[in-house]
Structure 1
Amino acid sequence: MSYDLAVWDGERPLDNHQAGATYDELYERYLESDDVMPPAPRIVAYVEALVERYPNDVDRSAVWASSPILNEASGPVVYLLMSYGTAEEVSEYAASLAREHGLVCFDPQGECLRP
């Protein structure tokens, strides 16, 4: 089981409803598409900072449910799959780091923006 977050480069939605609509659009356009795009530079910088704290290698599978993380990125969005046992700590850091990088962090399970 995993806990997932979506992080994207763009304007912060005004509310959870608008964030959900943006997430759905980005997911369909960039993550479900057969035409995977290289991750945007800001997404790459974010993932690099994230894996500096929580390494993304096979031996550390206790943190990430998917490896490497950049395989879950396309264009302006990355979909983070965290192991459920570490999700609280890792998701808090991931959301905080997204804010520092000027990115939007969305919880698709709760259908809400992460502060």
Structure 2
Amino acid sequence: MSYDLAVWEGPSPANDAAASAAFEDLHAEFMGGRSVAPTALIRQYVGELVTRWPDLSPDDDDEDEDASPWSDGPLINNASGPLFYFGMLFSNYQQAAQFAAERARALDLVCFDPQDGRLVT
């Protein structure tokens, strides 16, 4: 089980409903089978996350799962264009989600929780 966040470049939505609609549009455009190189700002953001906790490689075994909160890797594979949609292991997501939201705010990126349909501030 994982906890997912979506982070993207763009204007800050006015409310949760607007954020949900923006996420749906971005997801359909950038994650719906067409992969686009991540923007420079999204690459920077992902770099900050994997600097804090190690990235996973496809051949990592379960013994390493406590070293990183990410549910898969390499983490940059979850980015397309201005959108980054990624998961964290539910067992230890809280600290990682807080850090991810803080870094998104610092870079003026939108952070959205698709499970709850709410902006993360």
TM-score, structure 2 normalization:
0.90
Aligned-partner Cα distance in 2 for 1:11–1:49? 21
SS where residue 111 of structure 2 aligns?
strand
What root-mean-square deviation, in Å, do the aligned CA atoms of Structure 1 and Structure 2 show?
A: 1.1
- What is the CA-CA distance between 1:85 and the residue it aligns to? 1.0
- What is the CA-CA distance between 1:61 and the residue it aligns to? 3.2
2:52 — aligned with what?
53
1:83 — aligned with what?
89
Identity of aligned residues (%): 38
Matched positions, count: 114
Larger Rg: 2
Aligned-partner Cα distance in 1 for 2:11–2:75? 23
- What is the CA-CA distance between 1:86 and the residue it aligns to? 1.2
| Unpaired segments ≥5 residues, structure 1 | none
Point out 4+ residue stretches in structure 1 off by more than 4 angstroms.
Answer: none
Aligned-partner Cα distance in 1 for 2:91–2:55? 16
* Residues 1-115 of structure 1 aligned to structure 2 (within 5 Å): 1-32=1-32, 34-57=33-56, 58=60, 60-62=64-66, 63-115=69-121
- What is the CA-CA distance between 1:21 and the residue it aligns to? 0.2
Spell out, residue by residue over 1:32-78, the C-alpha distance to the aligned partner (whole angstroms, 9 max, x if none): 2x220000000000000111001112364341111011111100000
Aligned-partner Cα distance in 2 for 1:98–1:28? 22
TM-score, structure 1 normalization:
0.95
| Unpaired segments ≥5 residues, structure 2 | none
